[in-house]
Amino acid sequence: MSYPFEGEVRLLRWGESSSAGRTITLELSGGDSDSAHPFRGLPTGHQHGQRFLMSFVPIDDNEEPLPNPGEAQERRPEETLFTPERRWEVPSPPPAGALHPKDTERSRLAKEHYKSLDDRDRAVADAGMLPSDLAFQEFAAAKSGLPPCVEVARSVIHAECGIGSRSEIATSDTAYQAFLALKTSFALWAKRLPEPR
């Protein structure tokens, strides 16, 4: 990796748990299949992972920095967001249910697409979404004895269903039934379904 690494990233997910602490997953932009991963060869893990000093500035669709809610709105033209004295403050979360118009439309289209799927394809979609669910990560950790994270959650789905890829849920009766049983077991564990009487 060349130093410093600079580039646009996209926040895919964030999480917080007692065992894994505060975590984020970022997608790096600008990669192609011919170039090596910029972090290849660096140590990883809770104990020995490479440490970094990072600074994040949210940007809009025009690549412009979003205004910092922690600063006064008026700024002289010669001032920038990137002076050493100025620290970027984490903005307050938006009110519940408040989404950017693009996100609202994307969410609506995703829900419509999900509803249009047949039962098996919907199960495949669920198998793709469940590993991001923090409660499912805890459930998978309890089943596997490993720390809660997306990778462990994904591996528990694969192991319980006897599959190498979630797409097999759509083509294998055994995998499909095993996934439905796993999903029901999780829903009961997470108290998202009433206990059977």
| pLDDT tens readout for residues 13-34 | 888 877 777 888 888 776 666 6
| pLDDT tens readout for residues 142-163 | 999 999 999 999 999 999 999 9
**DSSP-assigned states of every residue in the chain:** --SS----EEEEEEEEETTTEEEEEEEESS--TTSPPTTTT---STTTPPP-------B-TTSPBPP-TTS-S---TT--TT-TT--PPPPPPPPTT---HHHHHHHHHHHHHHHHS-HHHHHHHHHHHGGG-HHHHHHHHHHHSS--SHHHHHHHHHHHHT-SSGGGGGT-HHHHHHHHHHHHHHHHHTT-SPPP-
Higher pLDDT, 50 or 34: 50
| pLDDT tens readout for residues 116-143 | 889 999 999 899 999 999 999 999 999 9
184 belongs to a structural domain: yes
pLDDT > 90 fraction of the chain, expressed in percent and rounded: 32
159 belongs to a structural domain: yes
114 belongs to a structural domain: yes
130 belongs to a structural domain: yes
Residue 34 has a pLDDT of 66
147 belongs to a structural domain: yes
25 belongs to a structural domain: no
90 belongs to a structural domain: no
Q: In the chain, how many domains are there?
A: 1
Residue 131 has a pLDDT of 92
Q: 114 is in which domain, residue-wise?
A: 101-189
5 belongs to a structural domain: no
pLDDT > 70 fraction of the chain, expressed in percent and rounded: 74
